[in-house]
């Protein structure tokens, strides 16, 4: 059997492990996480809406679950559709 010995200092070595006091470890622990506001989880873009479709018609088609404050949506922006000039025949 071997006994712990000191080698040129005040710390003792036991099986390769250094003795550490509580004052030496203060401030090195995990820091508490900073609370961040919840960020949007999903962004849905619907393109090529009918030019005559109003915002009221669009939201009524989606239903009550997709209205602001109902749990699924926390942000909403409606941009009406445009007349396409790509396939215009004269």
Quick one: pLDDT at residue 10? 54
Longest dimension (CA), the chain: 102
φ, ψ dihedrals at 5, nearest 5°: -130, 160
Report pTM: 0.46
Where does residue 54 rank: exposed (0-12), middle (13-18), buried (19+ CB within 10 A)?
Answer: exposed
Quick one: pLDDT at residue 60? 92
For the chain, what's the residue count? 90
Distance CA 13, CA 17 (A): 6
Provide, rounded to the nearest whole percent, the portion of the chain with pLDDT above 90: 8
pLDDT-derived band at 57, boundaries 50, 70, 90? very high
């Amino acid at each position: 059997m071997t006994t712990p010995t000191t080698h040129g200092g005040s710390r003792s070595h036991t099986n390769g492990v250094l003795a550490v006091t509580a004052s030496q470890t203060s401030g090195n622990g995990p820091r508490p996480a900073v609370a961040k506001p919840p960020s949007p989880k999903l962004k849905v873009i619907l393109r090529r809406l009918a030019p005559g479709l109003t915002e009221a018609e669009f939201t009524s088609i989606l239903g009550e679950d997709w209205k602001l404050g109902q749990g699924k949506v926390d942000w909403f922006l409606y941009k009406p559709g445009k007349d396409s000039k790509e396939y215009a025949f004269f």
